[in-house]
Amino acid sequence: MKNFTHKRWTLLAIACLINLCTGSVYAWSVFAGPKAQQLSELTGSLITAGDLAIAFSVCNGLAPIPMILGGYFVDRLGPKAVIVVGGLFIGAGMFFSGASGTFLSFLISYGLIFGLGLGFTYGAAVNNTIKFFPDHRGLAGGLTTGFYGLCSVIVPPIGQYLIATNGISFAFESLGIVFGTVIVLGGLLSIKCPPDFVPQGWTKPTNNFASLDVDTLSMLKRPRFWLMFAFLLCCGVSGMMILSHAAVIARTQIGYSAAAAAGAVAFIALVNTFARLVTGVLSDKFGQLPTLIGAAIGAAAGLSLLVFADADHLFLFYAAFACIGFAFGSLMGIYPGFTAAVFGTKHNSTNYGLMFYGFSLAGIIGPWLIKVLAIDGSYSYVYLCGCALTCLGVFIGFVLLKINKEKV
């Protein structure tokens, strides 16, 4: 145990590097437009970025399935094989997304293959790492998910450059090879957390939900799970709406060029990443649920600001992006540890896989709302609907806060 008390920091760094390569899903809005244009030219039929959003939705909707399946093996055998398999799927999914010449082949490559890899890799890296840090769940969750978000800061400008110089196929294929290789190597270096690991010098608290170690079936019978699930779903919709269409919103509503829109994507991704790091630490000090509620209130304010943002009011645009990105990052940074704090760490890989369905449903509902409610290039109804859902999430958060007898 003593060796792991120090070695866990190296394993945390490895997990961060793995998730840095896994988070390319958040750069979707940069790739969607050029890929839609390419497929339109190849098929002779008009295909828009909105049409391709189904691949993004399938990818996010599918991710919890390999998270749950992979979580079963992570809890029992460790993360090594799960991450390696995930890395192979991510690399192959991105590579074949670039090579795809039809809508169906792209849907299979990105939505199915890449989505499977995303679920295997993300779930194994985050949940195994959190088990090594029962004393700093917020910090560990914030760092691992923060690097997941950091990819969307780094990839958009790189992707934009690769697309401009070599085309969308080369961008997908080259990034797939690099990311897949790094994830596989990181998986080979990963180590399973020993059962009941306790860091040197730390005593496990007795007045904490984590002492329960609730199994997955028992968790599903508890109202607290469904309230947490609903909170994640309602508050995640606004983030998925904006992040999946950030570049399109910047170009349509603000009038930005493709390069400037990529900069806006990088900005919201940077805030998203920063939030995962900051709120992870804050949640360790002030409590996870109060931190989440505060971030959700900020997201509702940001969606309201976007209604009035235009080229003459760029401050409102970036303030809104900052609020929404910060709230979304808070959800992703805190929720793995939040789930472990409430239901225990023993079954957290599978437990969080089920909880993650809330995020995945948000990934389906968010882009769908944009497709349905965006009228003549206006996103006002989208923002108002997202704001209403987020406010519902805030209400659920206060209900949770009331029934929780302890700060978790």
Domain boundary assignment for the chain: 2-403
Cα distance between residue 252 and residue 283, in whole Å: 37
Helix (H) or strand (E) holding 404: none
What does the pLDDT read at residue 210?
46
Q: Please state, in angstroms and as integers, the Cα–Cα distance from residue 152 to each residue in 88, 98, 234, 263, 362, following that order.
A: 20, 18, 23, 11, 18
pLDDT at 27 over 80: no
Q: Which residue has the higher pLDDT, 72 or 296?
A: 296
- pLDDT per residue as tens digits for the range 228-243: 999 999 999 888 888 8
Taking residue 333's Cβ as centre, other Cβ atoms within 10 Å add up to 38
Interval 307-330 mean pLDDT: 89
- Least confident piece of the model among 15-19, 220-224, 283-287: 283-287
For residue 207, pLDDT over 60 is answered with no
Distance CA 302, CA 113 (A): 34
pLDDT tens across 342-375, in order?
A: 888 778 778 888 898 888 788 778 878 888 887 7
- 241 contacts 366 by C-beta, under 8 angstroms: yes
Domain 2-403 is classified in which CATH homologous superfamily? Answer: MFS general substrate transporter like domains (1.20.1250.20)
**pLDDT digits over 237-269, tens only?**
888 888 878 888 888 888 888 778 878 887 887
> What is the average pLDDT across 28-45?
87
Inter-axis angle of helices 258-286 and 288-306, nearest 10: 150
Considering the chain, what is the average pLDDT of its residues?
86
